[in-house]
Copies of this chain bind each other. A is one copy, B any other.
Amino acid sequence: MHPIDPNVMNANLPENERRAYLTFAVALTQISRATIAQFRAQGFKTELKPDASFVTEVDLAVERALRAAISQRYPSHGIRGEELAASNDDSEFQWILDPIDGTDNFAHGIPTFGTIIALHYGGEPLVGVLDHPDLQRTYSAARGLGAFCNERKISVVDHADAGGAPIVAVTAPANFMKTNDLVCLTAIQCAFPNTRTYRDCFAHSLALDGSVRAVVDVNLNLWDIAATRVLVEEAGGRFETVRTLAHEGKIFYSVVFGAPDIVAQLLPIVELSPA
């Protein structure tokens, strides 16, 4: 069991309450999966947003369906999502949603995309869920209750003794290039040549049971990363935000997380442009 920091407000919530939020968050994946399946069966439109990222009708429909379910169950809670305006912005409870993380992959039929569902309480992550419908894998955690892949309890060292050069996942060059950090990517690749690039939250999921030992992901939005910290920490890993950049009213996060020993090796290599 992960130790609870009594200085963090999460710790004030009794276990049965934390467990109830976790159970509800995991149950929400039934709604997102059903919505995704329905749109795939009927076909859907895709368009590029002004920031050159993708959005499909499916993203919007999934976010609407999740918001409706959350609002019905917890009408006073805040909800922030990738696609629609925030509600109840002053609530201590904030649900943060990325209906389809990796829409580019999703639109191209690459099965690693995921739905991200997070609940923060008092500004701290309390519950995190990464759901991969095509892979039949739901990763979930709540503060103090451990991390799971489906029913299996997981740890960042689960595959540590599989051997070989450590596998590190990095995001696509495009994300590094947004801030002219391609040299940083090259430095990571030289130090850890056994890299993978999934460019969606599947990299985050794989770090939770040590399938990849660590992840370097840069220039992310809040909803990309909102579920990951509690998942990583409940799986016994280390999570570091190495840069936050404010740009045009939004904040972009760059993070390194995974097995503590590999994160410690990566941190001095991940030299990003100054904020």
Chain A interfacial positions (CB closer than 8 Å to B): 46-48, 52, 54, 104, 107-111, 134-135, 158-159, 162-165, 167, 172-174, 177, 182, 185-186, 189-190, 193-199, 206, 209-212
Contacts and interface: CB of A to CB of B under 8 A. Distances in A.
A53 B187 CA distance: 23
Given A173-B195, A194-B172, A196-B197, A107 B162 contact: yes
A185 B189 contact: yes
Nearest to A161: B46
Contact of A54 (B104, B163, B186, B195): B163
Nearest to A110: B211
A243 to B, nearest CB: 19
A211 B200 CA distance: 15
B48 A163 contact: yes
A193 B172 CA distance: 7
A47 B161 CA distance: 11
A98 to B, nearest CB: 17
